[in-house]
């Protein structure tokens, strides 16, 4: 057989068909040496996969790989929050695993369909069981948060990305195309299209309408279907596919009882509070957002009762407009008919969940489902008081809601002389860098504020910050022995 190409010194000849190299030697009569050469032997080219089937498989890979990343970021919120120091490493490690998967896939030289089918099957098990709410909670309950994060990323998310990343390089070997660039480009088109639709539909439709569990289950079942499409399963493979499907269903259908949305996990649990009658806590992302009991009238969490006392007793508010950023359990306005309340929370489902499971009656006040910062920027309304109570995890305020620009926006939404009340969770001595810098940021906008630590001996405590939108912009002066204006300032102060 003639080999198309040319011989280059020190190199193998270029050939236009799949080949493998064979060493062939010709015995010679002594003293002549034996002559050995490497010959390109045509390899059996694998049967091409029908284009529609191949692109369907690649689409499923893209849909489920990015869908797994979106679900993983959502699962991490209740445990480590959603700050940039969490999301950036997660995305980076996911992309690194994908890159390693691309490289590994390029080295696969045979059994293309079998390798992809195996990868899809393992990925389905990792997604269906590993990304379920109960599995993630188990990981974080059994280890310190940083270690649990590494276990979750290293044992579930990255292996899944590595396995699915092999799909496109492997399946391009089964495409009929004039150029390798054409094969790769078409495969990447369908994979990226799947990634786009996976991120959009799972986050904006499936999670919103059904919950995170439905997104996990959908992705796992799509991978099982993809494994069956790549290669017709034999009896053992069919049994494994059925087992993975059953495992995914069992791991996620139990999460239907959990009130988890695209934004947060919710639960209502009984708690013990001294002086309260059968209290129950409203948990948002595993943190107690509010507490209510069965007394008449009801008693609430200590910080909520403190805020109510400031508004109703200290400031004697009546017929006032109060904006609450972060709905919590809607207890600030509960059984409080004197003022008008507007709640803002990013999750449109939180009010219905709080009314059904926590308050067990209708919440008082208007509810707006949007981002807190967007609301204070865009609203034309002005309020007598703004209560800031926004958390994405136990002690984590979303990063865009702690900056000087955000506090300026809250001040702009206040009426002249209005009050801003912020519920913060800080160390009891206010000695940590986060506590000192956050309080300094607030006071750079409002000036001096009242700071009340509700549990001074506790490692972390609710801290209530009260600031007024006063009209005075007079520069602050420090009293020193050489120029002490204390008496003058005291005389001209009310």
What pLDDT shows up at residue 59?
Answer: 97
**What's the full length of the chain, in residues?**
494
Q: Count CA within 13 A, CB hemisphere, residue 337.
A: 0
In this structure, the answer to whether residues 459 and 439 fall within a common structural domain is yes
- Quickly list DSSP for 19-30: EEEEEEEE---T
CA–CA separation, 435 and 149 (whole Å) = 25
Specify whether 220 is located in the same domain as 330.
no
DSSP state of 449: -
Q: Does residue 279 lie in a domain region?
A: no
Based on the fold, state whether residues 5 and 90 are members of the same structural domain. Answer: no
> Rounded to an integer, what distance in angstroms lies between the CA atom of residue 225 and that of residue 219?
10
Count of beta carbons in the 10 Å neighbourhood of residue 235: 7
Task: Write out pLDDT tens, residues 20-49.
Answer: 555 666 555 556 566 666 655 555 566 778
Please state the rounded mean pLDDT for residues 14-18. Answer: 44
- Give me the pLDDT at residue 78, please: 85
Cα 254 → chain centroid: 21
Give yes or no: residues 172 and 210 share one domain: yes
Distance between CA atoms of 305 and 423, rounded to whole angstroms?
12
Reply yes or no on whether the pLDDT at 263 is more than 70: yes
| 294 in a structural domain | no
The answer to whether residues 457 and 329 belong to one domain is yes
**Is 190 a residue whose pLDDT tops 80?**
yes
Q: Read off the CATH number of the domain in which 252 is found.
A: 1.20.1250
> How far does CA 356 lie from the centroid of its chain?
26
Residue of 357 and 19 predicted with greater confidence: 357
> pLDDT exceeding 90 applies to what percent of the chain?
61
Determine, yes or no, domain membership for 105: yes
Do 70 and 102 belong to one domain? yes
463 shares its domain with 350:
yes
Q: What integer pLDDT is reported at residue 10 of this predicted model?
A: 45
Distance of alpha carbon 129 from alpha carbon 109, whole angstroms: 31
Confidence of residue 14 (pLDDT cuts 50, 70, 90): very low
How far is 365 from 328, CA to CA, in rounded Å? 13
Supply the CATH number for residue 443's domain: 3.40.50.150
Mean pLDDT score, 254-276: 84
Residues 6+ apart with CB under 8 A from 150: none
Q: Would you state the pLDDT for residue 490?
A: 73
Could you report the per-residue pLDDT of 458-489, keeping only the tens digit for each?
Answer: 888 999 999 998 756 667 778 887 787 777 77
Vertex 426, ends 396 and 397: CA angle to 5°? 20
Phi, psi of 309 (to 5 degrees): -65, -40
The CA distance from 273 to 275, in Å, is 6
> Residues 98, 65: contact at Cβ < 8 Å?
yes
Judge whether 111 lies within some domain.
yes
Tens digits of residue pLDDT in 224-246: 999 999 988 889 999 999 999 99
Helix ranges restricted to H, 81-129: 84-106, 112-125
**pLDDT digits 0-9 by tens, 366-394:** 999 999 999 999 999 999 999 999 876 55
335 and 192 share a domain? Answer: no
Tell me the three state secondary structure of residue 35: strand
Asked whether residue 480 is domain-assigned, the answer is: no
CA 281 to chain centre: 24
- Rounded average pLDDT over 97-108: 95
- 């700071």: which residue's tokens? 451
Output the average pLDDT for the chain: 87
Q: What is the pLDDT of residues 304-314, one digit of tens each?
A: 999 999 999 99
User: What burial letters (b/e) apply to 439-463, b meaning 16+ CB within 10 Å?
Assistant: beebeebbeebebebeeeeeeebbb
Q: What is the pLDDT of residue 359?
A: 93
CA proximity to 248, closest of 130, 409, 383, 422: 130
- Would you say 3 and 20 are in contact if contact means Cβ atoms under 8 Å apart? no
Q: Is residue 326 part of a domain?
A: yes
Asked if the structure places residue 314 within a domain, the reply is yes
Q: Give, for 41, the enclosing helix (H) or strand (E).
A: strand 35-42
Q: Which domain holds residue 390?
A: 300-468
140 and 184 in a single domain? The answer is: yes
Q: What pLDDT, in 10s, does the model give residues 390-439? A: 876 555 688 889 999 999 999 999 999 999 999 999 988 899 999 999 99
pLDDT above 80: residue 16: no
Q: Are residues 98 and 246 in the same domain?
A: yes
d(CA 392, CA 437): 19
Measure the CA–CA gap between 247 and 257, rounded to whole angstroms. 18
**pLDDT tier at 12, thresholds 50, 70, 90:** very low
Instruction: Report the C-alpha dihedral over residues 489, 422, 445, 493, rounded to 10 degrees.
Output: -10
Total structural domains in the chain?
Answer: 3
Backbone φ, ψ for residue 461 (5° rounding): -150, 155
Element (H, E) at 416: strand 414-427
Identify whether 477 is part of a domain: no
- How confident is the model over 86-94, as a mean pLDDT? 95
Let me know whether 81 and 20 are in one domain: no
Q: Which phi and psi (to 5°) does residue 171 adopt?
A: -75, -20
Residues near 339 by beta carbon (within 8 Å), at least 6 away in sequence: 311, 317, 318, 319, 320, 321, 322, 333
Q: Tens digit of pLDDT for each residue in 287-297?
A: 888 999 998 88
Same-domain check for residues 371 and 333: yes
Q: Which long-range contacts link 80-89 to residues 24+ away (Cβ below 8 Å)?
A: 80/145, 80/149, 80/393, 81/392, 81/393, 81/396, 82/392, 82/393, 82/396, 82/398, 83/392, 83/396, 83/398, 83/399, 84/399, 86/149
Element (H, E) at 246: helix 235-253
């Amino acid at each position: 057989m003639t080999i198309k190409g040319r011989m280059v010194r020190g190199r193998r000849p270029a050939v236009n068909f799949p080949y493998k190299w064979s060493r062939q030697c010709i015995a010679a009569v002594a003293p002549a040496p034996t002559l050995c050469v490497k010959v390109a032997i045509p390899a059996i080219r694998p049967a091409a996969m029908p284009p529609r089937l191949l692109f369907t498989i690649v689409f499923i890979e893209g849909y489920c790989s990015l869908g797994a990343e979106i679900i993983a970021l959502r699962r991490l919120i209740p445990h480590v929050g959603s700050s940039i120091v969490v999301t950036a490493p997660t995305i980076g490690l996911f992309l690194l695993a994908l890159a390693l998967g691309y490289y590994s896939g390029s080295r696969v030289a045979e059994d293309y369909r079998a390798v992809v089918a195996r990868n899809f099957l393992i990925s389905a098990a990792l997604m269906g069981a590993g990304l379920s709410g109960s599995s993630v909670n188990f990981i974080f309950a059994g280890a310190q948060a940083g270690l649990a994060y590494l276990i979750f990323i290293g044992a579930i998310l990255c292996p899944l990305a590595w396995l699915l990343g092999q799909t496109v390089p492997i399946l391009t070997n089964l495409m009929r195309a004039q150029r390798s660039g054409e094969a790769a480009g078409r495969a990447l088109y369908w994979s990226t299209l799947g990634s786009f639709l996976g991120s959009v539909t799972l986050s904006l439709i499936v999670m919103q309408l059904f919950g995170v569990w439905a997104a996990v289950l959908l992705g796992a079942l799509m991978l099982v279907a993809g494994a069956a499409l790549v290669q017709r399963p034999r009896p053992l493979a069919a049994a494994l596919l059925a087992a993975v499907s059953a495992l995914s269903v069992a791991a996620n259908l139990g999460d239907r009882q959990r009130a988890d949305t695209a934004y947060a996990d919710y639960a209502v649990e009984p708690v013990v509070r001294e002086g309260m009658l059968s209290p129950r806590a409203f948990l948002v992302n595993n943190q107690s957002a509010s507490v209510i009991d069965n007394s008449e009238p009801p008693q609430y969490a200590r910080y909520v009762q403190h805020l109510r006392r400031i508004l109703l007793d200290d400031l004697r508010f009546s017929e006032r407009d109060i904006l609450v950023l972060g709905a919590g359990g809607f207890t600030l306005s509960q059984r409080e008919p004197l003022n008008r309340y507007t709640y803002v929370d990013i999750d449109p489902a939180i009010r219905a969940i709080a009314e059904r499971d926590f308050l067990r009656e209708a919440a008082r006040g208007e509810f707006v489902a949007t981002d807190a910062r967007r609301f204070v920027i865009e609203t034309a309304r002005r309020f007598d008081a703004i209560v800031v109570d926004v958390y994405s995890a136990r002690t984590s305020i979303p990063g865009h809601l702690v900056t000087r620009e955000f506090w300026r926006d809250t001040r702009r939404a206040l009426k002249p002389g209005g009050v801003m009340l912020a519920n913060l969770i800080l160390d009891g001595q206010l000695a940590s860098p986060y506590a000192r810098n956050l309080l300094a940021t607030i006071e750079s906008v409002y000036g001096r504020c009242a700071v009340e630590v509700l549990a001074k001996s506790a490692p972390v405590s609710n801290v209530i910050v009260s600031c007024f939108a006063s009209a005075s912009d007079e520069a602050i002066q420090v009293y020193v022995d050489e120029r002490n204006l204390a008496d003058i300032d005291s005389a001209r102060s009310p």
